[in-house]
């Protein structure tokens, strides 16, 4: 974007490029149709120009009004009605509040300004603001410690601008034209005298203290002005060099002579403020600002996305490295503990065999819950029977199993057979026992009968008193060392 400052006077206009306190490409144009055509060619040479307009015209009017203490929309509507009442025939008007009052002002000859704005709007060039030298003078007055201040400045191409400020607020302003060849110092003396009389008429010169008159001028006429403008008890003159004032405001260019225009250009360029431009005049500027903001927001989102993407990539790389380190540590620990453990042969093969065996037995020969339940029912009516141990063995040849195994087990390879049986051994004794072994045998026989009634095949392996003729009998009935124990053998057919 190229910042263009356009100065519009009654007869002449001036345009320049402002950048960081420097003015360049300054050109003058007459305030006419030909001047606007030349200005259009000037703009076409510059990339993406944006124009701020500074006006210094005789036809600038001011009115100070005291309004009711309204706020918000009501106050704005009242100000709009007042502007319509005072300045119906110009769109270049403004209302600004100051110390409980409102300053209504307007450029009453819009024909000197509006054609320039319409030219730029038609070219699609943004007009950021429209203001005047009198309005910008408030910026200077705010830096001068004076309750009653008259500020005088000369703009080449227009004339002498005299602005009166009361308590830092613009009260009125007047432009006196300076024609070519006129004595500038004499014009200042005559015109300032007229303003003094006007202020006396309005009782605006303080009774106590003095009216401070600040004159912006060059060194060439300063001595002459000091001779022409006498200080009195009520009026005190202060002369300030234009070049020094511009330097203090941050202007880096060269200010020569009495022309204060570079000083006002610097104020406008550094902090543009719209006073007279309507919404229609600044429509292109508003649209371009909206476009810039949208692009800035889009760029911010893209930048944020890139940042987050970079962060995610960094986190991913870090996690990948940590995973690799963890895997390496795990492998090292496994290797260490494998070396510490004794050799176990082919552990996977053993596990496979065990799992296959258990799965086969579980599927084809579940635990003997049914037999155990039947034994429990038989014991329900036999209080004298005490069971010490129940063991079983799964086998394909139940006839060969005559003695209980040391632990519950299955013969190796039987899970592959089709016909399996389970041999169950029940070992117990008669309690309480009074020494009568024959009675103990009868109780065991009764217990066996109860089991057989439930469909269990029961064999007697050992009885409290063994009456088998082939078995030798030792000891005596009632021998304390002889227990009335017994061992029964049961066979349960499995699933094929």
- Domain boundary assignment for the chain: 2-59+109-273, 355-493
What one-character DSSP code corresponds to residue 479? -
pLDDT tens, position by position, 256-267: 889 999 999 999
Order of strands across the sheet that contains 211-217: 169-177, 159-166, 148-155, 211-217, 235-241
Question: Of the candidates 35, 54, 83, 13, which has an alpha carbon nearest to the alpha carbon of residue 266?
Answer: 54
Residues in CB range of 149: below 8 A, 6 or more apart: 141, 164, 165, 168, 211, 212, 213, 214
Beta bridge partners of residue 159, listed in sequence order? 155, 177
pLDDT tens, position by position, 355-366: 565 555 555 555
* pLDDT, tens digit only, all 496 positions of the chain: 899 999 999 989 999 999 988 889 999 999 999 999 999 999 999 999 999 999 999 999 999 998 888 888 988 899 999 999 999 999 999 998 887 789 999 999 999 999 999 999 999 999 999 999 999 998 888 888 888 999 999 998 889 999 999 888 899 899 999 888 888 889 999 998 899 999 888 888 887 778 899 999 988 888 899 888 888 888 899 999 998 888 888 888 888 889 999 999 999 999 888 999 988 888 887 787 776 677 778 777 777 777 877 777 778 777 777 777 787 878 777 776 666 655 554 455 655 655 565 555 555 555 667 778 888 888 877 778 888 888 888 777 777 777 887 655 555 555 445 567 788 888 888 888 888 888 888 888 988 898 888 888 888 888 888 776 555 545 444 455 678 888 888 887 765 5
- Phi/psi for 288 (5° steps) reads -70, -35
Here the tokens at position 162 are 């005299």
CATH of domain 2-59+109-273: 3.30.420.40
Count the Cβ atoms, other than its own, within 10 Å of residue 483: 13
Paired sense of beta strands 126-132 and 148-155, if any: unpaired
What is the residue whose two structure tokens read 């066979």? 491
């Amino acid at each position: 974007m190229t910042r263009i400052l356009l100065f519009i006077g009654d007869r002449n206009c001036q345009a320049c490029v402002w950048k960081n306190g420097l003015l360049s490409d300054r050109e003058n144009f007459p305030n006419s149709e030909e001047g606007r055509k030349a200005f259009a060619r000037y703009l076409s040479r510059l990339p993406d120009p944006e124009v701020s307009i500074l006006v210094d015209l005789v036809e600038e009017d001011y009115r100070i009004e005291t309004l009711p203490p309204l706020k918000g929309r009501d106050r704005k509507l009242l100000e709009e009605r007042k502007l319509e009442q005072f300045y119906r025939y110009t769109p270049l008007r403004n209302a600004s509040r100051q110390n409980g009052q409102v300053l209504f002002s307007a450029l009453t000859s819009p024909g000197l300004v509006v054609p320039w704005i319409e030219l730029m709007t038609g070219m699609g060039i943004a007009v950021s603001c429209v203001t005047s030298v009198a309005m910008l003078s408030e910026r200077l007055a705010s830096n001068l410690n004076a309750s009653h201040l008259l500020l005088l400045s000369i703009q080449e191409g227009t004339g002498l601008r005299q602005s009166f400020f009361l308590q830092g607020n613009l009260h009125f302003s007047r432009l006196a034209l300076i024609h070519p060849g006129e004595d500038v110092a004499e014009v200042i003396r005559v015109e300032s005298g007229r303003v003094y009389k006007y202020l006396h008429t309005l009782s605006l010169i303080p009774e106590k203290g003095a009216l401070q008159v600040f004159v912006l001028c060059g060194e060439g006429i300063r001595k002459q002005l000091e001779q022409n403008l006498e200080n009195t008890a009520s009026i005190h003159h202060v002369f300030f060099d234009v070049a020094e004032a511009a330097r203090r405001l941050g202007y880096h260019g060269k200010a020569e002579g009495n022309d204060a225009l570079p000083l006002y250009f610097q104020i406008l360029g550094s902090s543009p403020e719209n006073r007279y431009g309507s919404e229609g005049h600044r429509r292109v500027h508003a649209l371009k600002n909206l476009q810039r903001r949208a692009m800035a927001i889009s760029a911010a989102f893209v930048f944020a996305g890139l940042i987050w993407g970079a962060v995610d990539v960094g986190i991913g790389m870090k996690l990948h490295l940590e995973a690799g380190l963890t895997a390496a540590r795990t492998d090292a620990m496994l290797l260490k503990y494998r070396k510490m453990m004794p050799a176990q042969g082919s552990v996977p093969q053993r596990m496979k065999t065990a799992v296959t065996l258990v799965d086969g037995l579980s599927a084809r020969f579940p635990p003997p819950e049914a037999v155990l339940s039947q034994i429990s029912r038989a014991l329900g009516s036999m209080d004298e029977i005490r069971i010490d141990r129940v063991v079983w063995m799964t086998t394909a040849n139940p006839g060969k199993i005559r003695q209980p195994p040391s632990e519950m087990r299955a013969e190796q390879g039987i899970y592959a057979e089709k016909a399996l049986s389970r041999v169950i051994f029940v070992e117990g004794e008669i309690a309480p026992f009074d020494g009568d072994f024959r009675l103990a045998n009868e109780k065991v026989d009764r217990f066996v009968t109860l089991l057989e009634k439930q469909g269990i095949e029961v064999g007697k392996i050992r009885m409290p008193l063994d009456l088998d003729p082939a078995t030798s009998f030792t000891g005596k009935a009632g021998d304390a060392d002889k227990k009335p124990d017994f061992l029964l053998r049961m066979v349960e057919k499995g699933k094929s």
